[in-house]
Amino acid sequence: MRNSPIGVFDSGVGGLTVVKELTREMPNEDIVYFGDTARVPYGTKSASTIQKFSIQNVLFLLKRNVKLIIIACNTSSAIGLPFLSKYFSIPIIGVIKPGAKAAVRSTRNGRIGVIGTSATVLSGAYDKEIKALNSGIKVYSGSCPLFVPLAEEGWANDGIVDVVARKYLAAFKGRNIDTLIMGCTHYPLLRSSIRRVMGKGVKLIDSAEETAKEARGLLEECGLKSAARRKNRSKFYVSDAPDKFRAVARRFLGRDAQAVERVDDV
């Protein structure tokens, strides 16, 4: 089992930011990735639909004999993880708890901002995790739906992102937050604009980095770390448009996604 791959799923291409961090943290772990490109975005859908898709994605990865499942999608983690953990015995982790932990560690004044998709913000998942760690912390949340298409379009360094970011983040400016969780797979790509708008005094939290650390800790704890002495092999499955996935993947993964296959059995 310890040399089995880690399974990662996301609504599409964004979860590759988590794969990038996992590869950095554990270079010898094989990864099987599933991107639900036929049904993306999840962030605008209802909780029951997101739950249904999440179950199907877990079942798909279980067929690939994975040893651990990481929900790289913030939306799916926020809405799907609480009940997935009840129904499946395989260890499953999401990106919300690691991000919340990092934010609580980072804040000095006890005021944290959270940005994410509409579904993530509506779920209140980050607020709950933060409050469970420290009930005295004030949490301010807001959704930034246009950030997702802007990141996929490759416009991270275009002035248009600054304009959109100023509009979305204006609500946080008077809140005196010192920490902001980028609670969506795509937002770390827009980090420079978000930093420009929020200023250097606000620490930006990227859930992907923290999730990779949490995954490593969990594998060590369960005695499931790979014993392989070679670089990892990654396999990428998508439910639609593999060519488009390949074209966008580089921006999120920092390298080309080699083996991309379209599947129908989800």
Catalytic member of 19, 40, 137, 184 = 184
Say whether residue 184 binds ligand DGL (CB under 6 A): yes
Say whether residue 120 binds ligand DGL (CB under 6 A): yes
Say whether residue 185 binds ligand DGL (CB under 6 A): yes
Rounded to the nearest 10°, the torsion over CA 208, 185, 30, 84 is 90
Nearest to 106 by CA among 17, 215, 179, 186: 179
Binding mask 205-244 for ligand DGL (x = CB under 6 A): ----------------------------------------
Say whether residue 43 binds ligand DGL (CB under 6 A): yes
Closer residue to ligand DGL, CB minimum distance, 71 or 226: 71
Main-chain dihedrals φ then ψ at residue 227, nearest 5 degrees: -95, 5
Say whether residue 10 binds ligand DGL (CB under 6 A): yes
Q: What is the CA radius of gyration of the chain?
A: 17
The two structure tokens encoding residue 170: 């204006």
Contact present, 168 and 142 (Cβ < 8 Å): yes
State how far the Cα of 19 lies from the Cα of 208, in Å rounded to an integer: 8
Q: Is 144 a catalytic residue?
A: no
Question: Of residues 14, 99, 113, 188, which one binds ligand DGL by CB under 6 A?
Answer: 14
Interface with ligand DGL (CB under 6 A):
10-12, 14, 40-43, 73-75, 117, 120, 148, 184-186
